Amino acid sequence: MTIAIYPGSFDPITNGHLDIITRAAKLFEKLIIGVYDRPNKSLLFTTEERVEMVKQSVATLPRVEARVFSGLTVSFAREVKAQAIVRGLRMSADFEREFDLAMMHKELSPEIEIVCLMADLKYQFLSSSLLKEAAELGATVDGFVPKHVAIALRKKVK
């Protein structure tokens, strides 16, 4: 069975993430969304909230599941017996960061492939950070996240 992971903080999950997840799910027999519990950034949602939002978002996708992980991404990949790590690329700035991560992953775990999927044009600008900032300033973000995430976001930023 070909297994891939799609790691991230998902604070919160966006339609851009879901685009990558939906497309990656077609490429692999199993896709595990790895929700990183200790990212080196300020979080709006708890780990439990982020995992629940991801689970609700992927509930209709067969062979896709969400799990919490900590530590190295390649260690998580090995733990779940993944052959690939999926990453989404939005713009050229993402490429440099993702290239550096891919090279580090290959050094640490050469048997695991890195698969980068280009974001859909309508999501090129979308990031969780930008989304949270817009929501905190009163913008409606309903078109950028699943409905349950928009509701959770409104509650959180009030």
Residues with catalytic annotation? 17, 41, 90, 128
In which element (H, E) is residue 116 found? strand 113-118
Alpha-helical (H) ranges within 38-121 are: 47-58, 73-79, 92-108
Helix (H, G, I), strand (E, B) or coil at 86: strand
Instruction: List, in order, residues 6 or more apart from 122 with CB less than 8 Å away.
Output: none
